[in-house]
Amino acid sequence: MWRILVVDDNPNNCMLLVSTLEGLAECDVAENGEEALAAYDKSLAQQKFYDAILLDIAMPGIDGVEVLRRIRSKEEQAATPQGKAIPIFMVTAHKAPFMDSFNTGCDDYILKPIEPDKVIIKIKDRLENPAS
């Protein structure tokens, strides 16, 4: 079973993603960027690493692109070997802004409205075929 961090300021989106992944993943939920970074740091401290992060882009406070940048920066500082970084999927209703996410190091994206079957396919493909 995978361990996934779901980050979205909309509780309905969190519930949908968690229920979509039921039986496939143990999910932690963060409702904003600050909580996401705290959960990530806690996972490192406890050495209970996430297999993937589903990260909303548009959030108040620290947005998803900044969370992504900070996580990738920490991985770089820790000299994470290439291909061993946590797969991060940006979740967005907007097609244009997520392009900055790719420049910052995201692995893929999930468009809203969330389509559960597509979410499962994307996550399975990335986690079962990490070189793709």
Is 70 exceeded by the pLDDT of residue 95? Answer: no
Q: What integer pLDDT is reported at residue 97 of this predicted model?
A: 57
CA nearest 59: which of 21, 90, 81? Answer: 90
Domain residue ranges of the chain, discontinuous segments joined by +: 2-116
Q: What integer pLDDT is reported at residue 79 of this predicted model?
A: 84
Q: What integer pLDDT is reported at residue 132 of this predicted model?
A: 52
CA distances to 56, 79, 120 from 124, in Å: 19, 26, 6
Q: What integer pLDDT is reported at residue 80 of this predicted model?
A: 79
User: What is the distance between the alpha carbons of residues 26 and 32, in angstroms, rounded to a whole number?
Assistant: 19
Cβ contact 32:60 at 8 Å: yes
Is 80 exceeded by the pLDDT of residue 100? Answer: no
Q: Does domain 2-116 have CATH number 3.40.50.2300?
A: yes
Is 70 exceeded by the pLDDT of residue 103? Answer: no
pLDDT higher at 106 or 21: 21
Q: Read off the pLDDT of each residue in 69-87 and give the average, rounded to a whole number.
A: 87
pLDDT higher at 114 or 97: 114
